[in-house]
């Protein structure tokens, strides 16, 4: 199952990009044998200031046809890492070819886009900068692959 991170904003050089790229490379290596990945990042940017509606339109264009949608949202479900790994495995095993993980901009995701998601995922009650969410998501993808592979990286 191919994984697509569709995100509002550009991740420029710096520690967030370095960390995100490192974990996505690890995910590509460890997920390959499990039928997961690699992860592709699609960045969209609303330069006209159209707000959430414009960002949602740009994100919709970045989502591969037929992809299962998972949004990152503070109102989403809080899963453990093993539960997230199980969700990835379930989507893969159900025959989904593509998974799109959506990260909104500073104001979040448009409600209609959130409503289309199979799962809305939260990294906790706190609000995280969307650039940090990318790094956290990349690490959780890698962690999920290691959990599914039985690697000792994740410890309960």
Dihedral sign for Cα atoms in the order 64, 97, 73, 42: negative
Q: Consecutive 10-residue runs of the chain (156 residues): their mean pLDDT?
A: 96 92 97 95 88 93 97 94 98 98 92 95 89 95 97 80
d(CA 68, CA 136): 20
Q: In angstroms, how far is CA 86 from the centroid of its own chain?
A: 15
Position 156 scores a pLDDT of: 65
Pairing of strands 119-121, 39-44: unpaired
SS3 content of the chain, % helix, strand, coil (to 5): 45, 20, 35
End-to-end Cα, the chain, rounded Å: 26
Tokens read off for 98 = 């593509």
Q: Which residue has the tokens 């299962």?
A: 68
Does the reported pTM lie above 0.75?
yes
d(CA 140, CA 52): 26
Q: Are 1 and 35 in contact (CB under 8 A)?
A: yes
Fold for 2-149, please state it. Answer: Alpha/beta knot (3.40.1280)
Helix (H) / strand (E) element for 61: namely helix 51-62
Q: Are 18 and 53 in contact (CB under 8 A)?
A: no
């Amino acid at each position: 199952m191919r994984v697509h991170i569709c995100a509002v904003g550009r991740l420029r050089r710096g520690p967030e990009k370095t960390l995100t790229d490192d974990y996505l490379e690890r995910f590509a290596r460890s997920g390959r044998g499990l039928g997961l990945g690699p992860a592709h990042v699609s960045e969209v940017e609303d330069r006209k200031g159209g707000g959430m509606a414009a960002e949602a339109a740009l994100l919709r264009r970045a989502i591969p046809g037929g992809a299962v949608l998972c949004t990152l949202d503070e109102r989403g479900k809080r899963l453990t890492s093993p539960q997230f790994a199980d969700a990835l495995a379930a989507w893969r095993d159900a025959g989904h070819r593509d998974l799109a993980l959506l990260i909104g901009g500073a104001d979040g995701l448009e409600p209609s886009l959130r409503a289309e998601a199979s799962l809305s995922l939260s990294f906790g009650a706190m609000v995280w900068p969307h650039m940090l969410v990318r790094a956290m998501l990349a690490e959780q993808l890698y962690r999920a692959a290691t959990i599914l592979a039985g690697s000792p990286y994740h410890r309960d």
